[in-house]
Amino acid sequence: MKKTIARFFIGSLLSASLFTACTADDLSADGTDLNSESRVEITDIAAGDLIGKWDMYSMTADVAVDFNADGISSEDLLEETQCFDPMYFSFDENGNITTNQANLYFEEDGSFTCKSKEYMAEYEVSVNQLVVTFTMDGHVITDTKTVTLFREDGEEYLHVSLEKYETQAYVNDPGTTVASEIERLDLVFRKQ
């Protein structure tokens, strides 16, 4: 019987996902520290700041996991699986979001398959609060999530953290998977 572990986010930025925790100080990718002195954080985010496509840049967890079963655990989930690589958010000027989110489906033996799905939602933003309204299983859901927008070395990034308690309504984790110990995820998307 398949177990859904991560219905990735359209519902706690927009949904749910595994769980994990690294601080923003720990976020780095391609050898570039995303908390360097050249980082400029935007504290009063307007809807216009989000317009455009944001691709998955980094995803870190608060504990190391071994999704690819190579015997080496990592907090960098993009190192552990390609499942999350196609994730993105595309915000338009009319208050709509299109997003591709990944889901991990765990089998009883601990193996998993990955499926991605595109979702549509509506959004509003005020200061650093992103309010998203979407339909899931026939129910209209409105969710509010704190986001951080920052610029560094000419690039723009969108940072979102997900806590396990935020995702429990969307996740069916039997508590015995490689992802069960994750309590927090930090996701960074880069604007294209």
At 134-170, the pLDDT tens digits run: 887 899 989 899 999 999 999 999 999 988 877 665 5
At 88-102, the pLDDT tens digits run: 999 999 999 999 988
Q: 1-29: b or e for each residue (b if 16 or more CB lie within 10 Å)? A: eebbbbbbbbbbbbbbbbbbbbebebbbb
DSSP helix/strand/coil, 125? strand
Could you give the CA distance from residue 96 to residue 83 in angstroms, rounded to a whole number?
25
Residue 77 — φ and ψ, nearest 5°? Answer: -70, -20
Helices (H), 19-74: 47-50
- Residue 142 CB contacts under 8 Å (≥ 6 apart), including other chains: 131, 132, 133
In this predicted structure, what is the pLDDT of residue 169? Answer: 55
Which bin fits 121, alpha (ψ -120 to 50), beta or left (φ > 0)? beta
At 163-190, the pLDDT tens digits run: 887 766 555 667 778 888 889 999 999 9
